[in-house]
Structures are given as structure tokens and as C-alpha cells.
Chains A and B, each alone.
Chain A
């Protein structure tokens, strides 16, 4: 019986104008967004390579550039907005990246809310989730209103079979559309000369397609629930569209807004005062040593002390900066907790993680910069005062930023995946209950 229902539902979807329009729109957006984003990625990669090539040969001031993420073509996330340049010298451990190729910067990067540009993630989060609603809102309500439900249930057809057949067929159509869009997007990426996808990238792409499938399943089950719970398809559509606006648009941003208002961060002035206070015990000494050093005392002890005090100030200021960073992370975490029941917020977090375009990747990069400063860079600068000829001969130590492994990304996103899966299950269970108790007269 499930097979009979499944076959009919598939055929019904494929014949419906709303599916054909939705499918064509999905493919068109997938093509347009990927073409635009892959070209943008190519330009950013070119800029990155040019910036590295044109680096000035300065051993004190080192410019570190963050390369664009290849999967930002599919999920732009924060890749474009959070900057990509860190200026490292012994007087400064960068607490943030400056704007993208010096174009843009934000003083509060983790407070960024809302979603980025049109990309595959947008396609799934907005377009496909709406397609799901339009495909499923009438799954039960329309049949109830037209009387076909009564006619079908006049046979030896268990209600559970009817619902399972409908859900399976609806999901097949939706996930088929998703796979088609993903295949088109990946194909466009593969033929672009700037894109070089590794095996790990392929695993991440598969992961984000799977996460997209789960996200759409949540919306399908929610639509099925509303369709089973209300009497008229028009009512189901209205309820679902309002739920969609709340869950996809309002709720995630509401979380950020609430967290910002109820979890206050220190002002720039307070930060500056904290930095002054942190270094206050050494302020006078630095002035004396600085005066002596620039007054002509270039002895090694004076030079080393000057260097030590400068680097100490950098570390102390970095501690203050890290405290702010932690508080920003705390604010972000609260926003995420508030938005934990928003499938869109969960989905966004997961796919940005898989694409390495999330705020955590930004933090990881900054952590690599800090680690570089504290180890390789400072060890190298000490040579200047200890063994100047050796310093002059030595090359600047290379900066390294190890990529996050796919399994680490899976582990990090497991809670969000579990919540999405639970939402899908809860909605399906509720839809089943509503349908089994539905008055089909």
C-alpha cells in the first residue's frame, strides 16, 4: 500500500506546476549563484596570491593573509566579511583580521548577524525550504477538503501507510531537487580553473548536502504536521508561511539581538583603560629603557630589555583582547542557545562549519596567528638582539594554519545535527498523531 501511495504522490508532484516552477527556479538560482560565487572566489584567490607575492621583505612587520575558502563558493558564511589580513610585529599580536584585502573591517566581528549573500546555503535555507512548504502544505489538508482522503480511506488502507507514503514521496521529490541543485553547483565549481577540490573538500560537500537534506526534512515534517492538523489547505499555507518567517528570518536574528542586549560587552574606552592598567607596572621602566635605547645605548642588555618589555606589553594587551574575544564568544553562544530551536540557525551553523566559513574558523586562524607570534616569530626576533648576523641570514619563519579535519567538523556539528534530527522526528510523530486522530468526514 505504501508503494501505491508513494508512486501516486511522486507522479502528482511531478505533474504539478508548483513543483516544476520551484524546480526550475532552484536550478536557475543554483547556476547563477555558483557562477557568480566561483568567479568571485577566483578573483579573491588571485588577490591572495598577488598579496603574498608582493609582500615587502620586512622581517619585523609580517603580513599574514588568510586564503579564501574554496567551499565559500557554496557557503559564503563569514568568509568575505571578516577580513583576511593580520599584521604581525613584536609590538602587536593582532586581535582581529583587517578587512578583505584591506577593503573592509569590523570592530565587532562576532556580533555580525543575519545571513550572507545568495549561495547554495541560501538556496537551501530559503528557496528550497519554501518549495518544501508549497509542496507539502496541502498533503493532507487538500485531500481532506476535496474528499479524496475519504475515498482513499474507504479502502483497506491503514492511515499510517498513507502518511508514510506521502512523506516518503514528498521527501524524494524535495531531496531530488536538492541533489540536482548540488550536482549543478559542484559541476560548475569543478570546471572552473581556480577551483581545486580535494578529497576532504568532497567529504565536506557531501556533509553539507546531507545537512541540507536534514534541514529540508525538518521543514517537510513541519509542513506535514500543519497540513494534518488544520482543516483547510489555505489555512495550512498561511500558518506555515508565518512559521517559516519566524523560524528562518525573525528567530535567529532575535537570538542575536537578545544576546547583545542582555549580555553587555565592555566599551572601547573600557578596553583601552584595561590595557593601560595591565601594563601600568612596567610603564615607567619602558619609558626609561626606550629613552636609553634610542638615546644611543645599543648594548645587548638594553636592547633585549626593550624587546622584552615591548613583547610583554603585546602579551598583556593580547590577554585583554582575548578576554573581550571570550566575552564575544559568550555572547554568540547565548545567541545560539536562544536560537537552538530555529532549524535555519542550526543549519547555518552546520554548513558554515563544513565549508570552513564560520566564526570558529576565523577564531582558529587568529589562534594560529597568536601561536605563530608567541613561538616562531618571537624566537626569530630574539635573534636580532642575540645574534644579528644569524638574524640577517635567516629567513622569516613561515606561518602555518592547519586545516580543520572533516571528522573534527563532524564532531563539532554533532549537537546541531542531533537537534535537527530530533525536530524532524518530533514533527513526524506529531504529524502521525494528528493524522491518525484526524476526522476525515
Chain B
């Protein structure tokens, strides 16, 4: 069930870097609670820039990001209380165990009093092997680290979740498990914005799919619309089309 008010909202968002590159060009998008929005696009299309703007890692050139109605640029610390983030390559603290990492990020996320069992439950939920809970993360595979990364996002229990190419490099089984977890989070009413190269997964999990090219959102389709269209063909057609700036 989606909420009426958007949890994540980009309003006329643009970003031009110091070197003159226009990474994002007047982006408008909204992600409501219980909705998964997938951003597709080639490298440099502006997907990661969008996520970085939501996390206030960079200031926008124009426009505004809102998280639960809070202007990210004006009050970043308040806004970030309501968003969790999973990066492409979750590294975490290698000398710490999974539980210790989880404990640290839970405290940063405003959950200071969780028990060991609560951490274990979250790790079980993402199908992390029980024996790995108290292992140092430096012994983890990429798939295990990604699962732990999503555990961190889950434990924060934020209304919005930003995922930056989270399935990149995962084996099919891990990617499938990841998708199941995402579906659960969606069911819990989270607003999920996921940048990805994975067209098939985007079609499966996305309630809406946007294609970005040269910083612009050039296409947006709902799940319903995509039932009658070939997303792969649309994507490739856009990628092959003439440069927008030409």
C-alpha cells in the first residue's frame, strides 16, 4: 500500500560540477511509501549523483531534495534521520564482526539500545549465515557484505531507502535473496529509490522505472505500463539515440 505523500522527492534538481559537467538536469521524481522506484541508465547518466544529492554529499546547483518533506539542503541532519543507504560495494569495518558493525551503524541511525538477539534477527532476515554473525567482516564475500549492508538499512527502520546499484557483482542466488528482502521492505511501506544497471530486476521489482540519460530523466513507466512494453528494447533505444546535448 503506497502512501499519498512522497517520502523521497526531487524537485527540479540539477547538478553542474566544478569542471562544468552537467550531471543532473532538472530532475523531478517522487517515491511514495510502499513503492520501489528504479533508476536505469548508463554510467554517468546521473543516477549516483541523484542519490548523493538526497544524502547531501553534494549541494544541488538548482532545485531541492525532500525526505519526508524536509529540505535536505536546509536541514540535512534532520532529513537523514528518515533515510537509509546501501552502496554498490559495501565495505564496512573489516576488523569488526557483523554484529559490531550493525551495532555501530544502528547507534548512528538512532537505535542505541538494541539487543544482540535483535541484531541476529535482522541478519537472519537477510539470510546471512548464522555462523557469520560473529565473524570479522574482512572474511566476508561481497554477497555477504551486501546482505549486511541491507541489514544496516533495515535496522535503521527509515521511511526511505536509497540503494546505489546494490546488486552489482552479486551472484544470481544472492541477487534473488536481495530482491526478496526488497519486496518485504516495500511491503512494510518503505519508499525505495534504487539505481541499477539490472534491467530485468528493475522490471521485476520496480513499481516505476525511470531511464536516465545525460542527467535527464528521459522516460518513466509504471509496472502496469511495462506489462505491455519491452523494457530492454526501450532502454537500448534510448541509449542508442542521439546525444541530448547535440
Listed in ascending order, the chain A residues whose CB lies under 8 Å from chain B are 1, 4, 8, 11-12, 15-16, 146-148, 150-158, 439-441
Q: Mark B60-87, 1 if CB is under 8 A from A, else 0.
A: 0000000000000000011011011101
Contacting residue for A156 out of B48, B100, B104, B110, CB 8 A? B110
**Given A153-B55, A154-B80, A11 and B96 contact (CB-CB distance below 8 Å):** yes
Listed in ascending order, the chain B residues whose CB lies under 8 Å from chain A are 48, 52, 55, 57-58, 77-78, 80-81, 83-85, 87, 89-93, 95-96, 100, 104-105, 107-110, 112, 149, 152, 156, 162
Cβ–Cβ contact B93 & A4, under 8 A: no
Cβ–Cβ contact B81 & A156, under 8 A: yes
Cβ–Cβ contact B93 & A8, under 8 A: yes
Q: Please measure, in the bound complex, the distance between the C-alpha atom of A8 and the C-alpha atom of B96, giving whole angstroms.
A: 9
Q: Please measure, in the bound complex, the distance between the C-alpha atom of A137 and the C-alpha atom of B117, giving whole angstroms.
A: 36
Cβ–Cβ contact A151 & B85, under 8 A: yes
Identify 7 new A-B residue pairs, CB closer than 8 A, beyond the known A150-B87, A155-B156.
A1-B108, A11-B96, A11-B100, A148-B92, A151-B152, A156-B110, A439-B57
Contacting residue for A12 out of B89, B93, B109, CB 8 A? B93
**Given A151-B152, A152-B108, A155-B109, A440 and B57 contact (CB-CB distance below 8 Å):** yes
Question: Can you list 19 pairs linking A and B with CB atoms under 8 Å apart?
Answer: A1-B108, A4-B107, A8-B96, A8-B104, A146-B91, A146-B92, A147-B90, A148-B91, A150-B85, A150-B87, A151-B85, A151-B149, A151-B152, A152-B108, A153-B57, A155-B108, A155-B110, A439-B58, A440-B57
Q: Please measure, in the bound complex, the distance between the C-alpha atom of A12 and the C-alpha atom of B94, giving whole angstroms.
A: 9
Q: Please, which residue of chain B has its CB at the minimum distance from the CB of A14?
A: B95
Q: Please measure, in the bound complex, the distance between the C-alpha atom of A151 and the C-alpha atom of B89, giving whole angstroms.
A: 11
Cβ–Cβ contact A154 & B85, under 8 A: yes
Q: Please, which residue of chain A has its CB at the minimum distance from the CB of B87?
A: A147
Cβ–Cβ contact A156 & B87, under 8 A: no
Q: Please measure, in the bound complex, the distance between the C-alpha atom of A153 and the C-alpha atom of B84, giving whole angstroms.
A: 11
**Given A147-B90, A151-B87, A441-B52, A156 and B78 contact (CB-CB distance below 8 Å):** yes
Set of chain A residues within 8 Å of B90, measured between Cβ atoms: 147, 151
Set of chain A residues within 8 Å of B83, measured between Cβ atoms: 154
Q: Please measure, in the bound complex, the distance between the C-alpha atom of A261 and the C-alpha atom of B25, giving whole angstroms.
A: 63
The count of A-to-B residue pairs whose CB atoms sit within 8 angstroms is 70
Q: Please, which residue of chain A has its CB at the minimum distance from the CB of B80?
A: A156
Q: Please measure, in the bound complex, the distance between the C-alpha atom of A199 and the C-alpha atom of B210, giving whole angstroms.
A: 76
Cβ–Cβ contact A157 & B96, under 8 A: no
Closest Cβ of chain B: how far from A316's Cβ, in Å? Answer: 72
Closest Cβ of chain A: how far from B48's Cβ, in Å? Answer: 8
Set of chain B residues within 8 Å of A150, measured between Cβ atoms: 55, 57, 85, 87
Set of chain A residues within 8 Å of B96, measured between Cβ atoms: 8, 11-12, 15
Contacting residue for A155 out of B80, B93, B162, CB 8 A? B80
Set of chain A residues within 8 Å of B58, measured between Cβ atoms: 439, 441
Q: Please measure, in the bound complex, the distance between the C-alpha atom of A441 and the C-alpha atom of B105, giving whole angstroms.
A: 18
Cβ–Cβ contact A441 & B57, under 8 A: yes
Set of chain B residues within 8 Å of A148, measured between Cβ atoms: 91-93
Closest Cβ of chain B: how far from A263's Cβ, in Å? Answer: 48
Set of chain A residues within 8 Å of B91, measured between Cβ atoms: 146-148
Set of chain A residues within 8 Å of B100, measured between Cβ atoms: 11
Set of chain B residues within 8 Å of A1, measured between Cβ atoms: 108
Set of chain B residues within 8 Å of A441, measured between Cβ atoms: 48, 52, 57-58
Cβ–Cβ contact A158 & B105, under 8 A: no
**A-B pairs with lowest CB-CB distance, top 6:** A154-B85, A146-B91, A155-B108, A156-B77, A15-B95, A4-B107
